[in-house]
Structure 1
């Protein structure tokens, strides 16, 4: 990233655990903002929708989501999504894949797991903003829904647990079967999207080093590079030091 990105971390009464993520990362400043006022009052106008204009001062907003505030965040995103112009990245903690997809369906643009935030945030922010900019410039011609694209998150699809991949493939298979799409065509779509997610995730973990990434994937370097070219993946995007400067961490109660 060439310029510093200013990000706001919205904290409600049920997401104080995320306060530790406020701070300065490489080219990313994360400021925390108490979200408690949104819990007061019955009208949805007093919630996240009311904050849409204020959030325009930031490049991106982080919303912490866990089982304790899942229902509330999902409702807030649903009522606000037509008014929000600031991208929303959900920090998820202890959520099952189906719950994460609910958050995406409600209006979040992407998600990152809490345990990976400190090492991957700058890269994930850069990729998200690039993707949204391309969508703005060229529009979306994909046959797969936005929710399904976001559900195909790199980290979850290559995790040790098979649950995220099972949840995604089941959802996509049901969608394609319902729309009578041929089996082979549907299968090829899922396989190609998994390939792309896997290559991106392994590059993130190896900071864009193609040789190390290929070795970690147990593939010949040339075969790995061919997959990168097939999916139009540029390793330079991942050659960014994503480690936060622990000495620059700050906590801001209000911005």
Structure 2
């Protein structure tokens, strides 16, 4: 067990009112908290806060981001954009968040969370557990999926799990979240030898498939209602279904059996 742990705090302007009092009152020596940045979520560039801070965060054992209802969408987008870039485990200081929101953040790469009221010793224990897990996976099972240790660095969940989590809830995502998802997907393609046209086609195809599937699921397989909600002509919506080989039948409920009048 290390005597000192360094944790960076990446905060937002809408959370400073309840985070700063805790930081000011905290005087623990075994866990050093360092306010790295305070971002304004109204600025579009704030969604890449974790990405732009990835190099500085390597100097810390963990990163803590305060998350509540006002900046939940920002946290989702920031985690999504940081996929494949961030090597420092991120924990959330959660305030009034439901289990579904926390599970969503975990699917997007959040390593752990701690709720209010904050206990500094519990936070330290959670960071130590993450670090112990990194050491364990490095020594025993470096190829194990999920949070693993490769060449002494932190790696996040597999890309497929992250993409599926976003696609499954695509109709509930904000524009900024979708922008970040598209940017992250494009950056992955850019590192390969694919052309711009091929990379763009993959991102568009992934979006179309996720959107059509989600729309059919929301409207119980009713193609007309799904097309109307998507503000697309039914024929165009049907063409996208055929293009991606999507069948509406699985989204429809079981037919109600017709009872015999004589029975």
Q: Which residue of 2 aligns with 1:61?
A: 63
Q: Which residue of 2 aligns with 1:105?
A: 107
* Gapped regions of structure 2 (runs ≥ 5): 149-156, 158-263
Normalised by the length of structure 2, the TM-score is 0.49
Task: Give, in angstroms, the shift of residue 97 of structure 1.
Answer: 0.6
Q: Which residue of 1 aligns with 2:15?
A: 15
- Give the total of aligned pairs: 146
Task: Give, in angstroms, the shift of residue 139 of structure 1.
Answer: 2.9
Task: Give, in angstroms, the shift of residue 72 of structure 1.
Answer: 0.6
Q: Which residue of 2 aligns with 1:90?
A: 92
Q: Distance in 1 between matches of 2:2 and 2:147?
A: 31
Q: Which residue of 1 aligns with 2:129?
A: 127
- Deviation string 1:81-105 (CA, Å, 9 cap, x unpaired) is 3101111111111111110011111
Trace 1:96-175 onto structure 2 (pairs within 5 A): 96-139=98-141
Spell out structure 1 runs of 4+ moving beyond 4 A.
140-146
Task: Give, in angstroms, the shift of residue 39 of structure 1.
Answer: 5.0
Q: Which residue of 2 aligns with 1:29?
A: 32
Conserved? CA contact 2:66–2:94, under 8 Å = yes
Q: Which has the larger radius of gyration?
A: 2
Q: Distance in 2 between matches of 1:76 and 1:63?
A: 10
Conserved? CA contact 1:61–1:86, under 8 Å = yes
Q: Distance in 1 between matches of 2:97 and 2:28?
A: 25
SS at match of 1:32: strand
1:20–1:125 Cα change, 3 Å? farther
Q: Distance in 2 between matches of 1:145 and 1:9?
A: 21
SS at match of 2:75: helix
Task: Give, in angstroms, the shift of residue 63 of structure 1.
Answer: 0.6
The CA RMSD measured in Å over matched residues stands at 2.8
- Deviation string 1:167-197 (CA, Å, 9 cap, x unpaired) is xxxxxxxxxxxxxxxxxxxxxxxxxxxxxxx
Instruction: Say whether residues 1:51 and 2:37 are aligned partners.
Output: no
1:115–1:43 Cα change, 3 Å? closer
Q: Which residue of 1 aligns with 2:2?
A: 2
Conserved? CA contact 2:41–2:74, under 8 Å = no
* Gapped regions of structure 1 (runs ≥ 5): 150-255
1:21–1:60 Cα change, 3 Å? farther
SS at match of 1:123: helix
Q: Which residue of 2 aligns with 1:72?
A: 74
- Deviation string 1:72-129 (CA, Å, 9 cap, x unpaired) is 1011001103101111111111111110011111111111112143341222221121
Normalised by the length of structure 1, the TM-score is 0.50
1:47–1:31 Cα change, 3 Å? closer
Conserved? CA contact 1:19–1:32, under 8 Å = no
Conserved? CA contact 2:7–2:32, under 8 Å = yes
